[in-house]
């Protein structure tokens, strides 16, 4: 790196800014975590305390009280209640969400890649029009097609199964196709051309040369897709009809029962459980993630 090392003051200022920003962005999450450890009556306190009572003594000089407070029955009561609750079968919902994510993941990545390659490399008449249509589909508001889609899936016999949630993924998505097309456009044509001279078929070019090159970009697509599945609420809400099929997002929405009977500490405990794996995933993958997007070089 030829960049001159920044002065001590700049460095400190950068750090201060980063810490401030990180705190501001994390604050709601910290609050969520805090409420999940509170007692229902404690939630009502005004002004609210950031640190739940059960964890507060741990900040006193006696460090031995910390592990003790965690093992006290009431500290984790909300989590225990969530795991015992009949309405929120965390392992089952997590399994359902995973199944949907996995079933759709391969299809989403593969189909998006094939179609993106088509748009990037096959110079067929009408390509630009077709690609413009593909982009325009990103703009369709879902309520417009909700009823016709429901009728269609009903006619296919898919209502009440996981199929509406993963089969359409096997036809790619406009956003991902766009992302991958940008990537393929950036790959020098010479690579393929020399391969073609060696008698390599189009499919083999794609499969043997382009796809391995696209790994970081494919990782981005996979991650975006996992996020989307994890957070999708409308799809499961409309197309599933058995509680045994619920996904985590839908289960959470349902936990917040109509008459407001579910204590907020339980809602927050459930939210925390749902968010945790995704945060882990992001921390692990963020480098690949950002590099992957960088290689796709989103440009018009």
Partner 1 sequence: MMIRSSTILLAATLVLPAIGLLTFGPRGRATVPTDRVIVRYWEKWAGIEAVPVRRIVDDFNDTVGARHGIWVEYNSISDVDKRTLLATAGGDPPDIAGLFDHIVAQLADQNALLPLDSLAAEFDIRSDAFKPVWWQTGVFNDRLYALPSSPFTIALYYNRRLFREAGLDPDSPPRTIAELTDAIRRLTRYDEHGAITQAGFTVSPSMLGWWPWAWPFFFDARPWDGRRFLVESPQIIDALNWVRDWRSTVGLNPMLAFEGSFQTIEGAQNPFLGERLAMVFQGPWMTNWIQTYAPHLDYGVAPFPSSDAARHHTFASADVFVIPRGARRPREAMRFLQYMMQQDVLESLCKAHCKVSPFRRPQDDFFRDHPNPHIRTFDALAESPDAFSVPKSACWAQAKDITQVMLESVNRGIATPQQAAAIAQRKLDAAVDDYRVARARREGGR
Partner 2 sequence: MSAHRDSLSAGLLWTAPWWIGFLLFLALPLGMSLYISFCDYPILQPPVWIGAENYAALARDPVFYQVLWNTALFAIVSIPICTAVAVGLAMLLNQQVRGQAFFRACIFVPNIVPLVATGIVWLWMLNPQHGLINQTIAAFGARGPNWLDTPLGVLASLVMISVWSVGSGVVVYLAGLQEIPEELYEAARLDGASRPRQFYHVTLPGISPIILFNVIVAIIGTWQIFALPFVLLKMTAGPERSAYFYTSYLYDNAFRYLKMGYASAMAWVQLLIILALTALVFWSGRRAVHYRAG
Binders of partner 2 in range 140-159 (CB under 8 A): 140-149, 151-152
Please enumerate in sequence order all residues whose Cβ is within 8 A of that of 208, keeping only pairs 6 or more positions apart, or say none.
Answer: 195, 200
Is 97 one of the binding residues for partner 2 (CB under 8 A)? Answer: no
CA dist 51 and 59 (Å) reads 10
Contact code string over 246-275 relative to partner 2, x by CB under 8 A:
---x--xx--x-------x--xx--x--xx
Is 98 one of the binding residues for partner 1 (CB under 8 A)? Answer: yes
- Nearest one of 155, 161, 176, 204 to 107, comparing CA atoms: 176
Q: How far is the CB of 48 from partner 1 (least distance, A)?
A: 11
> How many C-beta neighbours within 10 Å does residue 294 have?
12
Is 70 one of the binding residues for partner 2 (CB under 8 A)? Answer: no
Per-residue b or e along 9-38, where b marks 16 or more CB atoms closer than 10 Å to that residue's CB: eeeeeeeeeeeeeeeeeeeeeeebbbbbbb
The smaller minimum CB distance to partner 2, of residues 63 and 190, is found at 190
Which of 9, 41, 61, 122 is in the footprint of partner 2 by CB under 8 A? Answer: 122
Is 235 one of the binding residues for partner 1 (CB under 8 A)? Answer: no
The entry of partner 2, partner 1, none that residue 106 binds, CB within 5 to 8 Å by partner kind: none
Angle 226-292-299 from CA coordinates, rounded to 5°: 105
Q: Which of residues 135-154 bind partner 1 (CB under 8 A)?
A: 146-147, 150-151, 154
Which of 104, 182, 247, 262 is in the footprint of partner 1 by CB under 8 A? Answer: 262
Please enumerate in sequence order all residues whose Cβ is within 8 A of that of 261, keeping only pairs 6 or more positions apart, or say none.
Answer: none
Q: How many residues bind partner 2 (CB under 8 A)?
A: 95
Is 204 one of the binding residues for partner 2 (CB under 8 A)? Answer: no
Angle 167-132-153 from CA coordinates, rounded to 5°: 25
CA dist 90 and 95 (Å) reads 8
The smaller minimum CB distance to partner 1, of residues 196 and 281, is found at 281
Which of 76, 135, 167, 255 is in the footprint of partner 1 by CB under 8 A? Answer: 255
The entry of partner 2, partner 1, none that residue 86 binds, CB within 5 to 8 Å by partner kind: partner 1
Is 259 one of the binding residues for partner 1 (CB under 8 A)? Answer: yes
């Amino acid at each position: 790196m030829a960049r001159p090392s920044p002065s001590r003051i700049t460095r400190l200022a950068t750090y201060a800014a980063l810490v401030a920003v990180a705190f501001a962005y994390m604050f709601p999450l910290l609050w969520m975590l805090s409420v999940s450890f509170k007692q229902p009556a404690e939630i009502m306190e005004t002004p609210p305390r950031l640190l739940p009572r059960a964890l507060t003594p741990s900040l006193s000089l006696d460090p031995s009280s910390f592990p003790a407070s965690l093992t006290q029955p009431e500290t984790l009561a909300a989590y225990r209640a969530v795991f015992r609750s009949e309405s929120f079968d965390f392992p089952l919902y997590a399994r359902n969400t995973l199944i949907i994510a996995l079933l759709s993941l391969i299809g989403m990545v593969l189909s998006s890649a094939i179609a993106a390659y088509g748009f990037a490399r096959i110079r067929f008449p009408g390509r630009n029009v077709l690609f413009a249509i593909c982009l325009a589909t990103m703009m369709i508001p879902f309520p417009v097609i909700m009823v016709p889609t429901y009728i269609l899936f009903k006619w296919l016999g898919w209502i009440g199964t996981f199929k509406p949630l993963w089969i359409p993924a096997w036809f790619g998505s406009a956003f991902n196709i766009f992302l991958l097309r940008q990537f393929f456009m950036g790959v020098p044509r010479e690579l393929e051309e020399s391969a073609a001279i060696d008698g390599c078929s189009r499919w083999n070019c794609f499969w043997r040369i382009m796809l391995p090159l696209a790994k970081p970009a494919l990782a981005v697509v996979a991650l975006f897709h996992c996020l989307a599945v994890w957070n999708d609420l409308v799809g499961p809400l409309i197309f599933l009809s058995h509680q045994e099929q619920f996904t985590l997002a839908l289960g959470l929405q349902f936990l917040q029962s109509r008459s407001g009977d579910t204590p907020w500490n339980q809602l927050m405990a459930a939210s925390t459980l749902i968010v945790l794996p995704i945060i882990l995933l992001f921390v692990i993958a963020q480098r690949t993630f950002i590099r992957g997007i960088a290689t796709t070089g989103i440009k018009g």
